[in-house]
Structure 1
Amino acid sequence: METTLGLDNFPSPAELLSKYEAWKGLSPEASKIAFHDYRDMGKTPRYYQINAINSAVEAIAKGQQRLLLVMATGTGKTFTAFQLIWRLWKSGAKKRILFLADRNVLVDQTMVNDFRPFTGAMAKLSTHAKTIERADGTRESLTLAIDKKRRINAAYEIYLGLYQALTGPQEHQKIFKELSPDFFDLIIIDECHRGSAAEDSAWREILEHFSTATQIGMTATPKETEYASNMDYFGQPMYTYSLKEGISDGFLAPYKVIRSHIDRDVEGYRPTPGQLDREGNEVEDRQYNIKDFDRTLVLDDRTKLVARRVTQFLKESGDRMQKTIVFCVDQEHAARMRQALINENADLVAKDHRYVMRITGGDKDGLNELPNFIDPESDYPVIVTTSRLLSTGVDAQTCRLIVIDREIGSMTEFKQIVGRGTRVHQDSGKKFFTLIDFRGATNHFSDPEFDGDPVQIYVPPDDGTMTPPKDGTDTASTVDDDETGPETLPAMPPDTPGTNGPIRKIYVDGVGATILKERVEYLDADGKLITESLQDFTRKHLTRRFATLDDFLRRWNA
């Protein structure tokens, strides 16, 4: 019924609350948890963060024990986790909380930045004392919850730690078993795609020990394979905010893709009779292809060509100081790529040797420079080579160029690598980034599972220039029918010491390598290739949205 209400006839706040609780299915006790306020951090949570937090808090208030939140890289999962913990902790619903991650840098930066309001009640599950620089430049010592005898101090309420610090293959390393199974009320697992999905993973072991706790998995890329499933453990996502939504809303940086095809990758390589390697041994006579390059067979000229092409792009862009990550096959390949990039950029390396650095699990100097690389205020390092260490959990806000020179078989890993560049950084003017692909990894864009598409397609002219013009007056092309790209391999293990030992590589010099062709891709919002000029494409979509110039000007002025 529609009626006119007098001012005295409006429902009272108590009546509205009662109606809201009934609509949400909340008991009076549950509503006290669900309605507890946010912590004022000087910034308002974004709408999707509010949606994610509210959905999770309401579900927990109703008694749900396992939840999955899916949020694209760069959309503030850590800030979301803080507000979620704050509301549950302050409302009294959860008294002891564990935040699990798999990278030291992520835990340390979380403690001194987003989680700083927990100081006094918070400690790190570690025995290694450390002083960390905060976002405002001040330094802070971390509070530790494990003593030298590996005993856990149970006096704190908020614990952060690495799953590696809590467990191991030997029974005496499973330090988490010192705590009773009901010690924690809430466990949040950051980047949960990396471990907890697999039934035999270390994270799963910890989660099952504390099975009475409410467990929340957070990831940008939920893993669903024949062998591992986040959703099997946590259930369907409680809330999802995708890469495509983030780009559309303007919270994440769009990107363009340059695909570079090297002749040796496309045609393969077969040694000439009697061809010797660098050590003077004859190279086995067979056809080598992209699956072999830099894994079992090293063509030094190919490495130099990639370094030269990346340097050319930086020079043509007009900014050789833009932060760049080059993903390589393994640590040894990352070391060779670093050397090749140093030789191509000798002038800037002479000014500061940190212009090019290798940052891998086995490189102490590089790991020491990781905080400087992700610090927007630090100029150096500029270019870093890595294999898998930087593919996830590293907040490189000012990264403007990502180079892929290894095959990526995992969609999860591919999304994580793309996510290294999606953060918008207003202070430095970063509003988009570029991805250069030498291995066909960007074939994942055509996979239905990928939810965030590159924004443009551009065909470079024959004069060899690397960078598309800024005014968008380029021509475009559809993908050639035979251009399927190289076959992808299963994901390689992380670049930490393995159990199978290093693979012996064959080094061959003087073979040569050239770029056969390059294509810069621009896609529309539906992931379809744009086959018209960028000007025509823009004109069509502007006129679809604004009927007249006056309509456009009114919106612009508003």
Structure 2
Amino acid sequence: MTPETKARLLIDGKLEAAGWVVQDMKQLNLGAGPGVAVREYPTDTGPADYILFVDRSPVGVIEAKRDEAGANLSAHEGQTERYANATLKWRTGSTPLRFLYESTGQIIWFTDGADPAPRARELFHFFQPRTLADWASKPDTLRSRLTRMPPLPERNLRDCQIGAVTGLEKSLARNRPRALVHMATGAGKTFTAITSVYRLLKFGGAKRILFLVDTRNLGKQAHQEFMAYTPPDDGRKFTELYNVQRLSSIHIDPHAQVCISTIQRMYSILSGTELAEASEDISLNELGQADTQTRLVKYNPQVPIETFDFIVIDECHRSIYNLWKQVLDYFDAFLIGLTATPDKRTYGFFNENVVAEYSYEQSVVDGVNVGYDVYEIETEITAKGAELKAREWIDHRDRETRARRWAQTEEDTAYGATELDRSVVNPSQIRQVIQAMKTAVETHIFPHRKETPKTLIFAKTDSHADDIIRTVREIYGEGNAFCKKVTYRAGIDPETGKAVPGDDADSVLASFRNDYHPRIAVTVDMIATGTDVKPLEVLLFMRDVRSKGYYEQMKGRGVRSLDAESLKKVSNSADSAKTHFVLIDAVGVEKSLKTESRPLERKPGLSLDSLLKGVAIGARDEDTVLSLGNRLVRLAKQLDDKALAKIRQASGGIGLHDLARGLVQALDPDRVAADALDAARAAGITRSLDTLTAGELDAARQKRADAACAPFDNPALRELIESARRDREQLIDHLNLDSVTRSEYAAQAQANAEAAVGRFREFLETHRDEIAALGFFYAQPYSRRELTLEMIEDLHDALQRPPLMLTTEKLWSAYARVQESKVRGSGLRRQLTDLVSLVRFALGLDDELRPFADHVDKRFQDWVFRHNARRATAFTPEQMEWLRLVKDHIASSCRIEREDFDYAQLAGKGGLQKAWTVFDGQLDELLAEMNEELVA
């Protein structure tokens, strides 16, 4: 099949799916349907590839090109226009054809010749005949009407809302396909959006508008605001004028002018996947898309691409990227984003077309929100860490069940702030912070209050939150009602290890917002965004936040203004309206350079980490080898089957018990002597146990030790073993008592250190349109994104040339120096693919700089979990072994193709033929999924 033939078949299939009857000239029958596409229709300039007839009248033309021309379809626009203006054989009249397409079948470009300044745009699919008939019957086009919008009535609108609506309408009049409305929390983004929706329906003649959210609760809130909205030029409610549907099934009401839907539901409709019952209740931003299926959207004739003229995306910084971007690629609609916290990714997605920008600072000046002060608390252990000595008797607590055991520490353990409340819990540190907060609020921050102001504490983990709650109640001398945790998770009974029901999150939130109790709420991230608690006056950060946008959202919980009467209802001694809130920073979160300490160097020969590294660099002395063996024997008894299986896989099939046994037996004197005798006999030397020389024994001992230690050359295995116990247990440090070293209002935040990597960021911004690899991070439609190793090599070559002279190693080291708390894996040898992580970090797409292989590993785990969950049978051990090899190849090369099975470990396992058999002919499908999932 030639490329031209293949393109024609694809175009035919898509036309037929959209309701067109496709015919050759020999079978011409314009009565076969309302829409007929005739191939090779003769004109006075030659045969047109397709002429489109609607109700027997010619309305459009398609210029078909082979797939190789897809990247340059704009070069063929002149040819399409020539056919559109040509004289059609057997046709009377010379009016040019209005609707112009260029297509390869994979890519479709469309131009409406009736638009002001007609401009081509890319489509997911062809329009249906009835759509072109409807457009042709109207006196003007949507884009024409958008240039003639009447002035905006300013009654009941804030200045920032007026600016947002007028700015958006100016952008639409210029036919800008994407627009971003950046308005501070509390400024009325939804009210502004509804005002625009009303005007687009009434004056723009929009057929239908999609209001897209990422949680069911946000959809309910939006629906309530639509029902409450009264337009400035009409006394009736919005829902009395227009039909508003909150989508709860796959059926879109044909009479609805506004459709409110979660992006999850719209994705399920377009991809043909089932929608899990609870998938609309939690933001995709918080889930990280862990429970999604990676099926691509496909054309749905019941929901064609022309279903919506506009899509309003609420909280657009959260969930419109990666897999979910396909929903936006599908529809031929203007995209309008609403957010209070845009990041570089948001600006990039909306083509940097910011039509309104109303900052938090301006909202404070205008009285919409309140300002805040920063109060810093620093303790000795928070700043410098501490050390637990070996053989100290302390509690060891299971991270999941919180069950404790009393045991000695096995090694000296130094910990810094990054380990605090994760692998090590120091009750004194928590106690000192809470006591310092109580003292500061009562004596400096709100000295005249008789009750504790409404306070929200952000904890690191659910377990950390429990520790904080217990300490708060003790320090304040109050009961359970005083301090509550806000979470959807059930609690764990420490005696039985079973889940027990917790307080209802919604009722706790309602009480926190409206009632006297609780005075203090503790959460991890459930109410970090999207939840108003206007009486909130104190925010205590006991966790660091690496995402700037997320941090701004968390601060936003305290910015809402509140009148004196409403504040007094929940805080009786408040004598005025809410004037400000206080952010108490106990972890350095307000500073651009976090104050979290890196883990301290461990003393050589004592920690498990040091023992592992010692044998990796060649230590074969008896103390090191036997000590490591003994540590692993103990560790093997503590780990669960899942952790042991990971270690077995990383070691090439040797279990942790066998690794430990090998070390202990390596230096067994009897076995050493037996090996020495065998070696002597093989060399033709007669020896007995009594006559073996010291040199022969040493050689045998060295050989045995080398063999037993060989598996630990693998850094991945060492890392798994070293972290396994700490991932499972927390050490409860009752021995190191903490003390507050500083408790005061913060001075101006220190200037950040981004200047050290400024050249790299400037290069990315300046050259992003010139370098192919950067297209991967910007506006490529989801279904066509593909990152190759060649693209990364091109980018690396550009960076390492003068005057930049930047290699991956140099850039990683630079970030490790200036943003130490955000950089992981600094001591590892860099791969070329780590440049992907550097670019994503520099562009603000990732909050931490981690090796590319780490991202691939995490995505692989998530993908396998989802894949197994939606099938009756999980992957077999043999299949998993192959999949891990594929994952490793993708980590080093960005993609995997069939021909890659001829190389390295894949070929050693049997190559493509063996893999094909193992996966029962489904290999290509799995490879396509992994290429998309593990790199996207």
Q: TM-score, normalised by structure 2?
A: 0.41
**2:465 partner amino acid:** A
Runs of 4+ in 1 over 4 A off after TM superposition: 150-155, 168-171, 174-178, 500-503
Shift in Å, 1:271: 0.3
Q: Does the 8 A contact of 1:372 with 1:381 survive in 2?
A: no
Matched, 1:30 2:146: yes
Q: Which structure has the highest helix share of the two? A: 2
- The match for 1:207 is 328
C-alpha distance 368-183 of structure 1, shift in aligned 2 (>3 A): same
> Are the aligned partners of 2:534 and 2:560 in contact in 1 as well (CA < 8 Å)?
yes
Query: Aligned match of 2:356 in 230, 239, 246?
Result: 239
Contact 1:299–1:509 (CA under 8 A) maintained in structure 2: yes
Quote how far apart the aligned CAs of 1:438 are: 0.7
The within-5 A match list for 1:117-156 is: 117=229, 118-119=238-239, 121-125=243-247, 145-146=248-249, 151-156=251-256
The counterpart of 1:389, out of the listed 504, 526, 544, is 526
Question: Separation in 2 of the partners of 1:65 and 1:505?
Answer: 52
The secondary structure found in structure 2 opposite 1:194 is: coil
Q: Return the alpha-carbon distance in structure 2 between the equivalents of residues 412 and 59 of structure 1.
A: 25
Alignment of 1:295-334 (within 5 A): 295-316=422-443, 317=446, 318-334=449-465
Point out where structure 1 has 5 or more consecutive residues left out of the alignment: 1-25, 126-144, 447-483, 490-499, 528-558
Alpha carbons of 1:305 and 1:186: their partners in 2 closer, same or farther (altered >3 Å)? same
Kindly tell me: are residues 35 and 378 of structure 1, through their superposed partners in 2, closer, same or farther at Cα, counting changes over 3 Å? farther
1:96 to 208, 218, 221: 208
State how many pairs are aligned: 415
Tell me the SS of whatever aligns to 1:172.
coil
One-letter code aligned to 1:205: Q
Instruction: Specify whether residues 387 and 201 from structure 1 end up closer, same or farther in structure 2 by C-alpha distance, changes over 3 A only.
Output: farther
Of the structure 1 ranges 51-60 and 89-98, higher mean CA displacement relative to structure 2 is found in 89-98
Query: Does the 8 Å CA contact 1:324/1:382 hold for their aligned counterparts?
Result: yes
Question: Equivalent residue for 2:539?
Answer: 402
> Which of the residues 177, 187, 192 maps onto 1:80?
192
Trace 1:355-366 onto structure 2 (pairs within 5 A).
355-362=482-489, 365-366=503-504
2:264 to 164, 170, 178: 164
Q: Give, as a single letter, the amino acid of the residue that structure 1 aligns with 2:187.
A: T
Aligned equivalent of 1:434, options 576, 582, 596 = 582
Residue 221 of structure 1 aligns with which residue? 341
Q: Quick check: 2:588–2:596 contact (8 Å CA) kept in 1?
A: yes
Aligned to 2:4: none
Structure 1 312/51 Cα, relative in aligned 2: closer, same or farther at 3 Å? same
Encode CA deviations 1:378-413: one digit per residue, 9 max, x unaligned: 434432111122222222222111111111111112
Alpha-carbon distance in 1 for matches of 2:263, 2:145: 34
1:191 maps to amino acid: E
**CA pair 236-281 structure 1, distance change in 2 beyond 3 A:** farther
Q: 1:112 aligns with which of 224, 234, 240?
A: 224
Whole-angstrom distance in 2 between the partners of 1:373 and 1:294: 28
Q: Give the % identical residues.
A: 23
CA–CA distance in structure 2, aligned partners of residues 220 and 280 of structure 1: 49
Deviation of 1:170 (Å): 8.2
- CA separation in 2, counterparts of 1:252 and 1:401? 15
Q: Tell me, in whole angstroms, the C-alpha distance in 2 between the residues paired with 1:340 and 1:391.
A: 22
**Partner of 1:190 in structure 2?**
314
Deviation at 1:260, TM superposition (A): 0.7
Cα distance in 2 for partners of 1:152, 1:277 equals: 61
**2: distance between equivalents of 1:30 and 1:395?**
35
Deviation at 1:245, TM superposition (A): 1.8
Aligned to 1:15: none
Q: 1:250 aligns with which of 367, 383, 404?
A: 367
SS for the counterpart of 1:415 is: helix
Q: TM-score, normalised by structure 1?
A: 0.67
1:272 aligns with 2:398: no
Where in structure 2 are there 5+ consecutive unaligned residues?
1-141, 230-237, 277-296, 396-404, 491-501, 568-576, 600-645, 647-723, 753-936
User: Are 1:335 and 2:483 matched, yes or no?
Assistant: no
1:508 to 732, 737, 743: 732
* Contact kept? 1:96, 1:186, Cα under 8 Å: yes
Deviation at 1:97, TM superposition (A): 2.0
Residue 367 of structure 1: how far off its partner (Å): 2.0
Instruction: Sort the Cα spacing of 1:488 and 1:400 in 2 relative to 1 into closer, same or farther, 3 A.
Output: farther
1:70 aligns with one of 177, 182, 201: 182
User: In the superposition, relative to structure 1, how do residues 509 and 268 fare at CA in structure 2: closer, same or farther (>3 Å)?
Assistant: closer
Q: Is the 8 A contact 1:257 1:436 kept in 2?
A: yes
Q: Report the CA distance shift for 1:365/1:103 in structure 2 as closer, same or farther (over 3 A).
A: farther
Distance in 2, matches of 1:300 and 1:313, equals 20
1:21 counterpart residue number: none
Q: Output the CA distance in 2 between the equivalents of 1:83 and 1:289.
A: 51
Matched residue SS, 1:357: strand
Report how far residue 50 of structure 1 moved.
0.6
Residue 290 of structure 1 pairs with residue 417 of structure 2: yes
Cα offset for 1:232? 3.5
Query: Do the aligned partners of 1:391 and 1:416 also contact (CA within 8 Å) in 2?
Result: yes
How do 1:438-453 and structure 2 match up within 5 A? 438-444=586-592
Higher relative contact order (CA 8 A, sep 6+): 1
C-alpha displacement at 1:374, in angstroms? 6.8
Deviation string 1:302-361 (CA, Å, 9 cap, x unpaired) is 2233333333344442253522211111222223222322333443x3xxx543221124
